[in-house]
Amino acid sequence: MGLILAGGQARRMGGGDKPLLRLGGRTLLERVVERLAPQCGAGLALSANGDPARFSGFPGPVLPDPLPDQPGPLAGILAGLEHAAAQGVARVVSVSGDAPFLPGDLVARLEAAGSEAGIALAASGERQHYTIALWPTALRGALRDYLERGERRVGGFIARHGAAVASWPAEPVDPFLNINTPADLAAAEALDRG
């Protein structure tokens, strides 16, 4: 199952839903769905809080964070793992909803790198992306305990559970480039025009 994380506050962008920003005539979310859907036989889910109607075109459930007082990407990942486990799905690939150039072999390579019980992270060269990763749903109990203890660092959870890494070249275009600021969006527009 593919899980698109869209529950962040987009402070560096000035607020709002970054996945609904447009790049080259389509929203970032439409671009992420276009990249990810063909790779995910078990379908997609979107992790986002607030009114789900603003994502009405999304082809899957919109999952609110299970621990609203505990923001951060791990809360969204927990929502995805619990949803997937309820559907009998063993592994979830999370991606950021602001990464419009995801590689077409993302899921296959993460699945090859990961194990039944282990997390697998995507990397651009040496740079690891903690929110673009394969997560066994079996870790959902440990993740809920971690968050309920008041922890929220993704790297801290991964360090406890080990992680394999699948790496893609960062050049000429980083396939995990994500949009954090208006300047990033302008740069992505220039890249998209090629």
Ligand X SMILES: Nc1nc2c(ncn2[C@@H]2O[C@H](COP(=O)(O)OP(=O)(O)OP(=O)(O)O)[C@@H](O)[C@H]2O)c(=O)[nH]1
Does 8 interact with ligand X (rule: CB under 6 A)? Answer: yes
Do residues 38 and 49 lie in contact, with contact meaning Cβ atoms separated by under 8 Å?
no
C-alpha span between 143 and 122 (Å, rounded): 19
C-alpha span between 25 and 55 (Å, rounded): 17
Does 75 interact with ligand X (rule: CB under 6 A)? Answer: yes
Stretch that binds ligand X, among 7-15, 110-118, 141-149, 158-166 (CB under 6 A): 7-15
Does 9 interact with ligand X (rule: CB under 6 A)? Answer: yes
Does 65 interact with ligand X (rule: CB under 6 A)? Answer: yes
Q: Which helix (H) or strand (E) holds 79?
A: helix 73-86
User: In whole angstroms, how close is the CB of 3 to ligand X at the nearest point?
Assistant: 9
Residue nearest to ligand X (CB): 8
- Among 73, 100, 103, 114, interactor with ligand X by CB under 6 A: 73
Please tell me whether 184 is known to bind a ligand. no
C-alpha span between 40 and 35 (Å, rounded): 10
Do residues 2 and 37 lie in contact, with contact meaning Cβ atoms separated by under 8 Å?
yes
Tell me which residue has tokens 């992505």. 188
Q: Which two tokens stand for residue 156?
A: 């801290």
Nearer to ligand X among residue 97 and residue 136 (C-beta): 97
Does 93 interact with ligand X (rule: CB under 6 A)? Answer: no
Could you list the residues known to form a binding site for Mg(2+), using ranges.
Answer: 98
- Summarize as ranges the residues that interact with ligand X (CB under 6 A): 5-12, 18, 47, 65, 71-73, 75-76, 96-98, 131, 180
